[in-house]
Amino acid sequence: MRTAPALSVRDPLARLGLTREDPVMSDRHQPVETLLDQVDLSTFRSVMGSLPTGVSVVTSVTADGQPRGLTCSAVCSVSASPPLLLVCVKQPSATLEAIHESGAFAVNFLSSGMEDTARTFASPVPERFTDVPWSPGKRTGAPVLPATVAHAECVLTSSHLAGDHQILVGRLVHGDVSPARTPLAYWRAQFSEVQPAA
């Protein structure tokens, strides 16, 4: 049986037959860096917006106990053992600062009908918790919102700079699920409900 040649994980351009170090040109006779810069912001957003995502509110508290939070769609599991997830947060951010101060955060997975909550935490207003009820998480104290599909409390284990965002990896220390609720989704710049396929 033939096997596909192994690709080095250290060289993400290997699939294109390109490297950053090698001055070899592509079939269109463009330098590697030129090839990498071809996708504009509008195209990037359109492409990534075609992938339906869940909608979450990532929360934390400042050193003096003030709640902070933001809407986030870039959330995914990393590992089951140990239980790790990641969230991507744009810089600068008061919520990001609070996460680094406290060393912990909560991810609140919004349920259908919570569009207003998602918009509130995506807005530029500094006091987003003024009209939003919350309770401190059992393990971390990070704000937990009511009526969500689920929530996960995490201890920050590492952070990584990636473009204009930080990738935060957290270890789950507590979580809860509401099976009767359905999740809120976001697709092509619109909120939608998720229903099981017939």
CATH code at position 82: 2.30.110.10
Q: Does an H or E element contain 85, and which? A: strand 84-90
Residue 4 lies in a domain: no
pLDDT of residue 52: 80
Average pLDDT over residues 101-121: 98
pLDDT of residue 25: 46
Residue 155 lies in a domain: yes
Cα distance between residue 59 and residue 77, in whole Å: 17
Residue 33 lies in a domain: no
Q: Give φ, ψ of 190 to 5 degrees.
A: -135, 145
Radius of gyration of the chain (CA): 20
Q: What is the pLDDT of residues 32-85, one digit of tens each?
A: 666 666 778 888 888 877 778 899 999 999 999 999 999 999 999 999 999 999
């917006």: which residue's tokens? 49
Residue 138 lies in a domain: yes
Asked whether 173 and 107 are in contact (CB, 8 A), the reply is: no
Q: What is the mean pLDDT of the chain?
A: 87
Question: Is residue 195 predicted with pLDDT exceeding 50?
Answer: yes
pLDDT of residue 24: 46
Average pLDDT over residues 83-112: 97
Residue 25 lies in a domain: no
Predicted TM-score of the model (pTM): 0.80
Q: What are the C-alpha distances in Å from 65 to residues 122, 158, 190?
A: 21, 22, 33
Residue 111's domain comprises 55-193
Residue 47 lies in a domain: no
Asked whether 171 and 157 are in contact (CB, 8 A), the reply is: yes
pLDDT of residue 20: 58
Residue 160 lies in a domain: yes
**Own/partner pairs for 162-166, CB < 8 Å, 24+ apart?**
162/88, 164/90, 164/91, 165/74, 165/88, 165/89, 165/90, 165/91, 166/88, 166/89, 166/91, 166/96
Number of domains the chain is built from: 1
Question: Is residue 26 predicted with pLDDT exceeding 50?
Answer: no
Residue 108 lies in a domain: yes
User: Is residue 189 very low, low, confident or very high in pLDDT (cuts 50, 70, 90)?
Assistant: confident
Per-residue tokens: 109:
């997975």
Question: Is residue 23 predicted with pLDDT exceeding 90?
Answer: no
Cα distance between residue 168 and residue 85, in whole Å: 8
Average pLDDT over residues 19-42: 61
